[in-house]
Structure 1
Amino acid sequence: MSFKLLVRTQQRFPRRNWFVRTRQYAKQPQYDEADLFAENINHGAYKAKKRSCDEQFQWPEKSPDQISREAERQWERMAKLSAVGQGMLILLVVGGLGTAYLRWPELKSWWLIKMNGGRINATQEQNGQDSLDKLVKKKAKDLLREIPQVPSFQPGVGHPGVYIWGRCHSRDSLFPVRVPNLDNRKFRDILLAPSNDFNTNFALDEKGDLVAWDDLGQTKTLLPGQGLTSMKYSNNYLYALNKKGEILIIPIGTPGLIASKLSSRRSRLLPWKIRHKYDWKLPTGQVFNGRKGENRVVQFDTGSHHLVLLSNLGKAYSCATGDDGKQAQVSRGQFGIPTFSQFDEFPPNNKLFEIELLNKFKHEGDHTIHRRKIERIACGSYHTLALDGDGELYAFGWNRFGQLALPISYNLEYVSFPRSVTHAFRPHFPGMTDWKCVDMHCDDETSFVTIFRPGLTPDHHYFAFGNGLFGELGNNTFKNSQCEPVKIKLDDKRLINWSCGSHCVFGETDHHHEVVVWGNNDHGQLGIGKKTMKCARPMNIPDVLKPGQDTTDLDSIYNSKFQLRKGQRVVTNGSKSCIYWQT
């Protein structure tokens, strides 16, 4: 093959490199991004930009004062870090020592077992049993110290008087103690220290006079001659109902103001008698319809900043309480009036407004307005329950914990108008229509409702909903919020009287008038004789100690059940409780 033929062959069939990728279009021009976008880099010399030395890259000169201040700040930081480290070390040491002290028997047993090769001999087992027996005896001695000795000359619980327990006498009392100076006295109503601002208790004596008394029985008459029958506390004021159906406003924090509203004069027919007149009352005449016979109050209840009352015609009214000018920032719907919602101005003090959406209604498609008769009302701190004659339950106010039996949501946190919540109990009575609500009560953030169903045993069912963090729900659980009604575990017992304090509940059963309790017990206010912090299920309380009783027999004390005598009542405020004889 000639040289010319070889050249032609190579031009027709180019030689391929199977390992190096070749460009198929060799005659096309090639472009480099550096040539396109940075000609100066390829064709011009690179020149760095210089900055003036006066502007940057020079440490500014500092004065001696600045240098000393920086040094002081650095030492302060080091001192703070050192203090934090020392504090954490102290906490760890104290925590470790406390844990070792509380678990010393376990640590001692573990160490003995380890030193003995993992075996326990009979002597060590006996020593452990002896230690356990010592702990049991020590606990029994501690209980004996908490049980008061009742003198044999003191009257028993069958004699009129007052017993008190819980946070009283400058200490926590786990058992009812008879109050001196109140023997053989009966009262219409008792209100235990309503707030931390008032350490004194209040009572309405047999004449209806308002009396202040302390835990030692020292009494002082605050308001005489008014014939008071019941009283409630709200926003540093007492609201008391008299026999005429009027509600008196009593500023218990300022006795001088009480005296200024009280006037006295002699009776013309009986000159030896002095009549007292108190002028500060709720202005019911401004809202009552006197032409239809509406002229007195038959029932009322209060919350933290509101009051709700019922007239003799079954109409409901509400108002804001107190008169110190310190109003809550916003309403929480507890007045039942839409114009006093959380977006509106707080209503004026002691001015009554009719709850029209509760007193009146109309059926769908009917233009006639009907009147609803309300039979009972109950107030929590910021919510209200109402019950009409047909057994329909209505609720309004604050619903953060589900105390209105409505779903917990942003839109239903504040309900400023009455809403029917009877439907919330239907899941407990599927397919049944012969049941209705007959009673209800309120704790601060918890509600209790009684459902009656005739013809069955038991015919009364008890439900709770709302805040149950301290066991107020009574169903053996501790829940912060419960919007669906749950049954209280009362074991078919029927409650005839209730007393609700702050996070604790007392109830009187129809069976031998026993007292059952549940809820908070951090001060011993439940009267169960033990320092159990919480009680989530109704339980009986021990009987009141008898004069001269042997307090060393713990079984007989804790296995007994207290039963109320005829005329006795039990009340609580959430931190202490008492038993008194009612007129």
Structure 2
Amino acid sequence: MWSTRARQPATNIATILRRLPRTTTRPTVVPWRRCYANNSQRGSEQSRSSHWLRTSLGLAGTGAAAFLAYTYATTDKAETPSDSKVKDLSQVTDPLGSEYVQHKRSLKSPGVYVWGANSHRVADPGSKEKTIKTPRRLSYFDGQVLRDLKLSDKSGAAIAENGDLIQWGKGYSESDYKPTKTLTGKNLTSLCMSSDRILALSSDGNVYSLPIARDDQCGGRKPNEKSWVPFWSGTANVSYRALQPSLKLGEKFTSIKGGLEHALLLTNYGRVFSVASSTESYPSFGQLGVPGLTWATRPKGPVDMCHEIQALKGIKITQIAAGDYHSAVLSKDGSLFTFGDNSFGQLGMEFDSSIPYCDAPTPVPIRSLYKGNIWFPKVTGIAAGGANSFFTVDAQRIVGPGENPSAVRDLDRITADTWTCGRGIWGALGTGKWTHMQDAPTKVRSLSGLFEYEERSKGLTPIRLRDISVGTTHVSAIMNNNTHVDTKPSSSLDDTKDVGFDVLWWGGNEHFQLGTGKRSNQSKPTYIHAPAEGGKEDANSEEARLQIMPRHKGKAGSRTVSMEQRVECGRHISAIYSTV
């Protein structure tokens, strides 16, 4: 999880070629008080120390001064925390710089921060506020690490560390909005939410479908369950269905993604299945990837039966993504396929008003995005949400027609780019433009072509996206820029050397879901401030830029747990949570 590159300050992740552009609405950020990767700060400290020694010792011999300097340098190294030791910042009594407040809180107690739409009591079940303007800690999850978290404007759902499903909000209960355990004992690992149902994946590859509303869970058919006690069985506490696709021997589901009416399921064999996931409406925009499949033509059997996407047979799929009404899949060789609704160009293909959707997986021509035949592009990651699609590309510089290989200075260099398509009227494309429809993939320049200097290799390395979460109208991206001075990986956090990953936000902000504290939309990636400790602002304190903590060891109750933070963008709501 940790990079072995030399530490560079988070505010200078593109120090060599370019910086992430700052919008005019970006909050004021106090520069980090940190040094570059060449140890300039340590060098200055040793220089001052040596000067003090020379002044203090005065008439002492040159040999004594050298001996003391050597002893000082050796002691400094000996005090460096080992890889297995965690620096417990919760016990530090000296004032910490604003950039270390998150470290202290993350180590002291993990939790969930939510902000955005709250009319259905999802962001803060105990508050009657219609919107939560800045990140607010959800007290129920204090000291807890989660496996997964999904949010909509009407309900929230999370998977606890032990694999139990937790739900809250008015979408779950009109009378009791607080988080409540529902589906238990299944060892769940991930989930997705449609308009009215939850699909949850267990560690053994089973997929369970249950209604979001508590009344439907209590009033629906409850299946019989086997017990660990021999010859003993009972009835489930809630109504649910176990999806039963036709899988091969040793095959199981490993990933699940969903939209408002459908879900995609990926197996460890690289096969993709699609399923209708809503009780109220059947997928009608081709997002299932089965040509001609509609409510009228569906085969006999359960409405939520799983359909293997035959057009992808023989292609090993490694990633899946789903927007509200469209789907995307990524193959092992870096090819991208999209299908479903294309009303806003979210499939990355030209919009045709006579055929506003595509019901079969269609390849997106990635090579046509790079002109001159001097690049070899390969898609490395995909994400989708609402009516938007994003994909990251590693473009390798190759010898073009008529070029002399010896004259190409950047031959084989890889440039990491981020591309997008779909609806941009709220700025969700991140391109700086307010575009109603973008049917040709366009580059997010703020997140593309970024490099940093790597101390070990003495050269440039591309800065890629670590993760991207796409909500209905807004997006968040985590940069993979975390580095440190040490030359070997570490699983611990250090209060003087390590900071988190840069995280940026853009798109719709009508419900304050960007966390800027303002309602104005953002068409370019921007930073937000870290929430104040205890929820109270200090007028005299420095404003820390919000960052995402990398994998580290921290306290979850009385236990020490390996955890990291993730970002979730939902329907007009956002969250940051600690996960195992």
In which range does the TM-score fall when normalised by the shorter chain? 0.5 to 0.7
| Residue 388 (structure 2) pairs with residue 446 (structure 1) | yes
**Which of 515, 518, 524 is the matching residue for 1:530?**
518
Aligned ranges 1:394-409 → 2 under 5 Å? 394-409=337-352
Deviates most, 249-258 or 227-236: 249-258
Q: Corresponding residue for 1:173?
A: 132
Greater share of strand:
2
Larger CA Rg, structure 1 vs 2: 1
Q: Separation in 2 of the partners of 1:477 and 1:410?
A: 23
Aligned letter for 2:194?
Answer: S
From the superposition, tell whether residues 441 and 278 of structure 1 become closer, same or farther in structure 2 (CA, over 3 Å).
Answer: same
SS at match of 2:439: coil
CA contact (8 A) 1:246 1:281 kept: no
Cα offset, 1:218, TM superposition: 3.5
Q: Separation in 1 of the partners of 2:396 and 2:439?
A: 26
Q: Corresponding residue for 1:461?
A: 417
| Residue 510 (structure 2) pairs with residue 568 (structure 1) | no
Cα offset, 1:574, TM superposition: 2.9
Cα offset, 1:174, TM superposition: 2.2
Q: Separation in 2 of the partners of 1:260 and 1:240?
A: 17
| Residue 253 (structure 2) pairs with residue 265 (structure 1) | no
Q: Corresponding residue for 2:309?
A: 355
| Residue 476 (structure 2) pairs with residue 506 (structure 1) | yes
Q: Separation in 2 of the partners of 1:235 and 1:345?
A: 23
Cα offset, 1:266, TM superposition: 5.0
Cα offset, 1:385, TM superposition: 0.8
Q: Corresponding residue for 1:546?
A: 533
Q: Separation in 2 of the partners of 1:308 and 1:450?
A: 20
Aligned residues: 402
From the superposition, tell whether residues 331 and 563 of structure 1 become closer, same or farther in structure 2 (CA, over 3 Å).
Answer: closer
Q: Corresponding residue for 1:245?
A: 205
SS at match of 1:202: strand
SS at match of 2:533: coil
| Residue 550 (structure 2) pairs with residue 580 (structure 1) | no
**Which of 506, 510, 516 is the matching residue for 1:518?**
506
**Which of 335, 345, 362 is the matching residue for 1:392?**
335
Aligned ranges 1:135-214 → 2 under 5 Å? 156-158=105-107, 159-168=109-118, 169=127, 170-192=129-151, 194-195=152-153, 198=154, 200-213=155-168
Cα offset, 1:504, TM superposition: 0.7
From the superposition, tell whether residues 516 and 165 of structure 1 become closer, same or farther in structure 2 (CA, over 3 Å).
Answer: same
From the superposition, tell whether residues 279 and 242 of structure 1 become closer, same or farther in structure 2 (CA, over 3 Å).
Answer: farther
Q: Separation in 1 of the partners of 2:545 and 2:164?
A: 37
Instruction: Provide, for residues 476-534 of structure 1, a one-character-per-residue CA deviation record: whole Å limited to 9, x for no partner.
Output: 001111111111122625211121111111111112411111111111111123222x1
From the superposition, tell whether residues 234 and 256 of structure 1 become closer, same or farther in structure 2 (CA, over 3 Å).
Answer: same
Q: Separation in 1 of the partners of 2:196 and 2:535?
A: 41
From the superposition, tell whether residues 229 and 516 of structure 1 become closer, same or farther in structure 2 (CA, over 3 Å).
Answer: same
From the superposition, tell whether residues 413 and 568 of structure 1 become closer, same or farther in structure 2 (CA, over 3 Å).
Answer: same
Cα offset, 1:308, TM superposition: 1.7
Q: Corresponding residue for 2:285?
A: 332
From the superposition, tell whether residues 419 and 548 of structure 1 become closer, same or farther in structure 2 (CA, over 3 Å).
Answer: closer
SS at match of 1:164: strand
Q: Separation in 2 of the partners of 1:564 and 1:465?
A: 29
CA contact (8 A) 2:219 2:239 kept: no
**Aligned Cα root-mean-square deviation (Å):** 3.1
**Which of 452, 469, 490 is the matching residue for 2:447?**
490
Q: Corresponding residue for 1:345?
A: 297
CA contact (8 A) 1:156 1:547 kept: no
SS at match of 1:225: coil
Gaps of 5+ in 1: 1-139, 141-151, 360-370
From the superposition, tell whether residues 244 and 179 of structure 1 become closer, same or farther in structure 2 (CA, over 3 Å).
Answer: same
CA contact (8 A) 1:236 1:251 kept: yes
From the superposition, tell whether residues 561 and 288 of structure 1 become closer, same or farther in structure 2 (CA, over 3 Å).
Answer: closer
Q: Separation in 1 of the partners of 2:207 and 2:519?
A: 39
From the superposition, tell whether residues 206 and 454 of structure 1 become closer, same or farther in structure 2 (CA, over 3 Å).
Answer: same
| Residue 301 (structure 2) pairs with residue 304 (structure 1) | no
Q: Separation in 2 of the partners of 1:174 and 1:356?
A: 45
Q: Corresponding residue for 1:417?
A: 360
Cα offset, 1:542, TM superposition: 1.0
Cα offset, 1:182, TM superposition: 2.4
Cα offset, 1:562, TM superposition: 3.1
| Residue 266 (structure 2) pairs with residue 313 (structure 1) | no
Q: Separation in 1 of the partners of 2:260 and 2:198?
A: 12
CA contact (8 A) 1:405 1:483 kept: yes
From the superposition, tell whether residues 318 and 548 of structure 1 become closer, same or farther in structure 2 (CA, over 3 Å).
Answer: closer
CA contact (8 A) 1:341 1:416 kept: no
CA contact (8 A) 2:260 2:278 kept: no
Cα offset, 1:180, TM superposition: 2.0
Q: Separation in 2 of the partners of 1:241 and 1:157?
A: 27
Cα offset, 1:222, TM superposition: 0.6
CA contact (8 A) 1:157 1:544 kept: no
SS at match of 2:167: strand
From the superposition, tell whether residues 283 and 550 of structure 1 become closer, same or farther in structure 2 (CA, over 3 Å).
Answer: closer
**Which of 160, 175, 193 is the matching residue for 1:233?**
193
Cα offset, 1:475, TM superposition: 0.5
Instruction: Provide, for residues 539-565 of structure 1, a one-character-per-residue CA deviation record: whole Å limited to 9, x for no partner.
Output: 1111221248653248x32x6343435
From the superposition, tell whether residues 562 and 545 of structure 1 become closer, same or farther in structure 2 (CA, over 3 Å).
Answer: farther
Cα offset, 1:383, TM superposition: 1.1
SS at match of 1:480: strand
Cα offset, 1:281, TM superposition: 4.0
SS at match of 2:373: coil
CA contact (8 A) 1:263 1:278 kept: no
Instruction: Provide, for residues 258-284 of structure 1, a one-character-per-residue CA deviation record: whole Å limited to 9, x for no partner.
Output: 682364635249x9x999798944443
